[in-house]
């Protein structure tokens, strides 16, 4: 039970850097000696010291004979920083309790091998499920070479995301919108379709104090977005246009003059979303928040690219057969083909309900 208390503390502090460590994982480390915490550390940003190093530096000589609780296997290779496993050996740690092994092929058990070779007691698997949830983004990116995709939308009680006249601001309440900006803050990128840009001319930025603006990804097969759109001109965030080989070369040249990056994903009429996701992963974009309209939402679901869904349901009834819904497109013809969520939860946020599930 004591081990679990210290590991939960390591998991808790790891979240201090949520949204800041990409493409690295979130990691927390707790050093315990004589039953008391003597130091803590968490990874803050790629290229900076890892969680274990922060804890070891804080503890100093108190590290000798101590137990290290860490949420992920200590690294064994020289990457942006030196290997943590060697530093743990040099510090004189006597026991390491890790929540899980690192699936990164550059580590994958080698960190534990270094520790055991130095006669350090190693235990693996404590609160592993919680640790895997903590790093669901990193785990998908490092094992599948794809970003973790979260879809978010706000709808009325009858499933509408806008009125028959297209009015959508605001269906959800203030607390729900704050949560949405937190999602933008912790994701590497935000993705919308060209329809959202044409209808709303959004900035797609994060309106939080010390918030981080995500990379803006616009799915626009033929580059219909006007050159005075905010996502092109405001300079608030890195912007990528996903298009096809059919997009006009002159429009692509004009976009590039504004500093917009272009990803050509396929040669058909529509952007190949699977190709796009692979291209984003290569660019070390590990998490994508899809916050567009019903068309892009269905396309992403139909392509099997969505991992998690946040749906805010407001206590409003809009009605109207032509009013837009959160997921549109062609739809699924058979119930057996529909998307079913697991680990489904519901919580109250302000006057709204937030429904969360994994695909």
Residues annotated as part of the active site: 52
CA distances (Å), origin 57, targets 49, 51, 52, 160: 10, 10, 9, 53
The answer to whether 218 and 251 have CB atoms below 8 angstroms apart is no
Cα gap 331→298, rounded to integer Å: 7
What residues contact 312, with CB distance under 8 A and at least 6 apart?
152, 153, 154, 155, 171, 172, 176, 179, 180, 349, 352, 353, 354, 355
**Token pair 């396929």: residue:** 266
Tokens of 280: 């984003």
Q: How many CB atoms lie within 10 A of CB 216?
A: 25
Token pair for 338: 């529909």
Question: What is the distance between the alpha carbons of residues 275 and 169, in angstroms, rounded to a whole number?
Answer: 33
Residue by residue, what is the 3-state secondary structure of 206-271?
Answer: CCCCCCCCCEEEEECCCCCCCCCCHHHHCCCCCEEEEECCCCCHHHHHHHHHCCCEEEECCCCCCC
């Amino acid at each position: 039970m004591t081990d679990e208390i210290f590991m939960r503390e390591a998991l808790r502090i790891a979240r201090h850097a949520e949204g800041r460590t990409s493409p690295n994982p979130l990691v927390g480390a707790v050093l315990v000696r004589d039953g008391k915490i003597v130091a803590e550390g968490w990874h803050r940003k790629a290229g900076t010291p890892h969680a274990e190093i922060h804890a070891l530096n804080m503890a100093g000589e108190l590290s000798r004979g101590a137990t290290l609780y860490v949420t992920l296997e200590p690294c064994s290779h020289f990457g942006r920083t030196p290997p943590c496993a060697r530093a743990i050996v040099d510090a004189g740690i006597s026991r390491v309790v890790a929540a899980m092994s690192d699936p990164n092929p550059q580590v994958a058990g080698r960190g534990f091998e270094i520790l055991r070779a130095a006669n350090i007691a190693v235990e693996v698997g404590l609160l592993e499920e919680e640790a895997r949830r903590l790093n669901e983004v990193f785990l998908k990116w490092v094992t599948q070479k794809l970003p973790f995709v979260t879809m978010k939308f706000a709808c009325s009680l009858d499933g509408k995301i806008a009125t028959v006249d297209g009015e959508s601001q605001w269906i959800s309440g203030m607390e729900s919108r704050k949560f949405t900006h937190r999602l933008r803050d912790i994701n590497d990128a935000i993705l919308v379709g060209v329809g959202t840009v044409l209808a709303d001319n959004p900035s797609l930025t994060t309106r939080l104090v010390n918030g981080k603006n995500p990379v803006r990804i616009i799915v626009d097969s033929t580059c219909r977005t006007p050159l005075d759109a905010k996502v092109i001109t405001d300079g608030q965030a890195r912007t990528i246009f996903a298009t096809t080989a059919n997009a006009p070369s002159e429009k692509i040249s004009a976009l590039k003059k504004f500093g917009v990056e272009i990803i050509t994903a396929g040669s058909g009429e529509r952007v190949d979303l699977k190709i796009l996701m692979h291209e984003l992963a290569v660019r070390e974009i590990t998490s994508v928040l899809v916050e567009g309209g019903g068309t892009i939402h269905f396309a992403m679901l139909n392509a099997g690219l969505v991992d998690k869904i946040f749906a805010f349901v407001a206590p409003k009834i809009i009605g109207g057969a032509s009013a837009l819904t959160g997921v549109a497109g062609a739809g699924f013809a058979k119930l057996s083909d529909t998307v079913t969520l697991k680990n489904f939860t519901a919580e109250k946020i302000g006057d709204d309900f937030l429904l969360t599930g994994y695909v």
